[in-house]
Structure 1
Amino acid sequence: MYIIQNEYLELIVSEIGAEICSLRNKMDDLQYIWQGDPKYWSDHSPLLFPAIGDWKDNKYVIDGKEYEMPCHGFGRLEKFEIHCKDTEMICTLHSNKEIQTIYPFDFSLTIVYSLDRNILHVEQFINNESEKEMPYSIGEHIGFCVPLFKGEVYEDYYLEFEKEETANRYPLLNGRTIGKPVPCLMQTKRIPLHSEMFANGAWNFKGLSSQRVCLASEKNQHKIIIDFPGFSHFSIWSVPNASYICIEPCNGIAASEEEGYDPYQKKGIHVLKPGHSEIVTYSVTLLSPKVDALLENEEKKSILSKRISVRKFRKKVVTKEKIMRILKYAMASPSAGNSREWEFIVITEDAAKEKISQMSPYAVPAKNASVLIIPCLRKEKEWIDKQGNSWWVQNMAICSYGVLLAAKEEDLDGVWLGFYPDEMRVKLLAEYLKCENVLLPFSVIALGYRDGEALEKDRYDSDIVHFFSVSEKHCSS
């Protein structure tokens, strides 16, 4: 067993199948992964590779030779090489002579698990190292505990997709073969869970609009969110009266009745060209009141949330060392074509600050600031792309914001005083700075130690956020 952890999560993975055996929320000391009662199901979260479910009669034919394909493939049964570093775990399986007796391809499969606060990221790299096309499927079979707490029942829980779904279900016949589709979801986001819903096997879907699903309860505030972009199929499964549910985003599906033994023609199969690779990713996000509180506390400590416009400053010195660190951060800002067209003029003399404060009705805060930083375009360095576009305004804007963030990093506050594109303001400032022939002043950033309290504001507005969907051909909130 191999372990990685951070402040929020602890992940335990077995070298056999690179299987997730434990995912624990450390804030609540809560286990989310089914712990494998043989009475119902002895696994935890087996990796499905290179098959999803059964292939027809568990066999296939390549170049006239018949091969056996175990249910859900062999990846879950093989020993992976595992290396851990900090909050990342890399698990690798290489083809070998034994594997090639059932799967005649040279390949490597690498699973990368990484923790990002309350999120488990999973990246899967499939590489075809053989000289012929390689058919494969890959998928997840993650068993989550349901219910999570004593006193709850299975029926307290539900699955909720991010979008309304109208979809057929592909039933399993005799627990092996995919049957013809039957109506299931009708303009709904939610699937209520009940203990007998899987009496006839897994619920299998194809081509859902959603790429995110949430497992939640009516009785508690804990949520498990799975993001699965790019997966073509989605299944859920359990055993009647067992206290878990498997959530299974997959690229592939079990064999149907009419399928033959040619793996290249199998429904849902991926065919990887020689020397090519594919990457499949998903994530698991764990939410709870304690996790939410810790995330909110981190947000409050963030420089990004603390940065606000401050126009009144105390009469305190901002040292040259601080100014140089601010400019070092600012110079790390991105720029189109890596043109780095900027130069900086630094003003600390009171007479100059007072003069600049008079060049715009909005520049009054410059008078009492400890320092003014003026990002300028070096005219001779203006970068023009192949289409004849100039991007210096965008470059200066992001650089100016970089100055403000860097100042906050140094426990300073400030305000962006706009000069460009007002031609008169720019002209007055350039002439005063005696730089009009070589530099074009873009903005004046007044910095210092703020005088008095300033209220931090939460300006997030979900109404102005739109997620575009190619399938729906429009943006939605």
Structure 2
Amino acid sequence: MKHDGQIFTLENEDLLVAVNRHGAELARIYDKKAGRELLWNADPAVWNRHAPILFPFVGKCYDGKYRHQEKDYPMGAHGFARDMEFEPLLCDMDECWYRLKDTPETFSKYPFHFELEVGHRLEGRTIQVMWRVNNTGSEDLLFMAGGHPAFRVPEGRTIYDYTFEFNKTGTRAGTCQDGLHYQAPNADGFEQEDLGGTLALTDGRVPLTKGFFDRALTYIFDQAAVGSVSLLLDGKPYVTVRCDDFPYLGVWSVEATHPFVCLEPWYGRCDAEGYTGELKDREGVVTLPAWESWEKSYSITIGE
């Protein structure tokens, strides 16, 4: 365990995990036995993040704004939590928690009172990522939340050495056998129904071949169909993200260079092209009653 004021480190005999106070973001997963880094290094020339939390929005709002109670508010892609300083709550040998509260600045563009608590727990070769949203106001809290971890390609390999393996929701449900329905955003980042489709699978697997991300800039698997997804390398799990009961899972990579693959469990999704309705009617929005709490988690397991 190490804390330098900005970065908190969790460590066991298998992994070293670093969490940044800024954005409560996973900043590093180092496999000590394999001697390799798993998370993207946030190279600003490519993509300047590691594994941001998406809150209180997932994806973009159409025309850069959303409507709540007949008033328009500006909002950037993926909300604002990823760019804010969190308050340390708990930092011990194998677990750390950070908290973000609403401020006058957030309230001016997101008129809700909230507390967002983000936790990370190291258990063997698995990192649990935990979210707790507290509604501290007297009205319903409307929000979305999502993970966005980017897993780098190992040295000497390319993205095309990976194979995806998708498993259904539920620990005993088995693989997603023949195919998975997905939605997809257009070039501007808004979903279009005619861009969706079905990803063909063989025993739950599909190789990541050239042109995979030409069919969809981002694959958004919906209907709570995916319980876990693995990146296989040489037929073995390189990394597995388990997200049972999450309604959406996003899969994305940077165009052209493809130095990493993001596996993104979401409660929420990007706006549909042309949507100008109320926030409460947007697909994927969570409604949390006054003074209540909402808790979800997903896990990242590093293969041996």
Work out whether the TM-score is over 0.5.
Answer: yes
**Structure 1 residues 138, 231: closer, same or farther in 2, change over 3 A?**
same
Match of residue 80 from structure 1: 86
Equivalent residue, structure 1, for 2:220 = 204
In the TM superposition, what is the alpha-carbon distance from 1:21 to its structure 2 partner? 1.0
**SS in structure 1 at match of 2:110:** coil
Name the counterpart of 2:176: 164
Q: Partners of 1:264 and 1:208 in 2: how far apart?
A: 20
CA deviation after TM superposition for structure 1 residue 15, in Å = 1.2
2:257 corresponds, among 237, 241, 249, to 241
Equivalence map 1:118-137=2 (5 Å): 118-137=125-144
Q: What's the CA shift for 1:14? A: 1.2
Largest Rg, 1 or 2: 1
Aligned residues of 1:56 and 1:261 also touching (Cα < 8 A): no
Task: State the shift of 1:196 in Å.
Answer: 4.2
* Residue number among 93, 114, 117 corresponding to 2:121 in the alignment: 114
Question: Helix, strand or coil: the match of 2:213?
Answer: coil
- How far residue 65 of structure 1 moved from its aligned partner, in angstroms, is 2.6
Q: Secondary structure at the match of 1:111?
A: strand
Q: Give 1:208 deviation, angstroms.
A: 4.4
| 266 and 222 in structure 1: CA distance in 2 versus 1, 3 angstrom threshold | closer
SS at match of 2:280: helix
Correspondence list, 1:318-333, <5 A? none
Who is 1:178 aligned against? 191
Secondary structure at 1:91 match in 2: strand
Matches within 5 A, 1:245-324: 245-288=261-304
TM-aligned CA deviation for residue 107 of structure 1: 0.5
Tell me if structure 2 keeps the 8 A contact 1:120–1:283. yes
Structure 1 vs Structure 2: percent identity of aligned residues? Answer: 26
Match of 2:171 in 1: none
Gaps of 5+ in 2: 1-6, 168-174
Structure 1: gaps of 5 or more residues: 289-477
2:146 is the alignment partner of 1:139: yes
Q: Given the superposition, is the C-alpha separation of residues 100 and 59 from structure 1 closer, same or farther in structure 2, using an over 3 Å criterion?
A: same
Q: Does the aligned pair in 2 maintain the 1:195–1:241 contact within 8 Å?
A: no
Residue deviations 1:324-351, cap 9 Å, x none?
xxxxxxxxxxxxxxxxxxxxxxxxxxxx
1:49 counterpart residue number: 55
The RMSD of aligned alpha carbons is 1.7
| 1:57 aligned counterpart, secondary structure | helix
Distance 1:195 1:57 in 2: 32
Contact 2:226–2:249 at 8 Å: present in 1 too?
A: no
Match of 1:215 among 214, 231, 236: 231
CA contact (8 A) 1:4 1:84 kept: no
Aligned residues: 285
Give the partner amino acid of 1:194: T
- 8 Å CA contact 2:58, 2:78 repeated in 1: yes
Which of 5, 9, 12 aligns to 2:15? It is 9
* Cα distance in structure 1, aligned partners of 2:50 and 2:264: 12
Distance 1:179 1:24 in 2: 38
Deviations, residues 68-103 of structure 1 (Å, cap 9, x unaligned)? 111001110111112411111111111111111111
Describe the superposition over 1:416-449 as per-residue Cα deviations: whole angstroms up to 9, x where unpaired: xxxxxxxxxxxxxxxxxxxxxxxxxxxxxxxxxx
Offset at 1:263? Answer: 0.6
Q: SS state of the match for residue 66, structure 1?
A: strand
2:267–2:284 Cα contact (<8 Å) kept: yes
* Partner SS state of residue 178, structure 1: coil
Q: Cα offset for 1:169? A: 2.4
Alignment TM-score, normalising by the size of structure 2: 0.89
Bigger RCO of structures 1 and 2 (CA < 8 A, at least 6 apart): 2
| Residue identity matched to 2:287 | V
The CA distance in 2 between the partners of 1:84 and 1:208, in whole Å, is: 33
| Bigger fraction of residues in strand | 2
SS in 1 for 2:300: strand
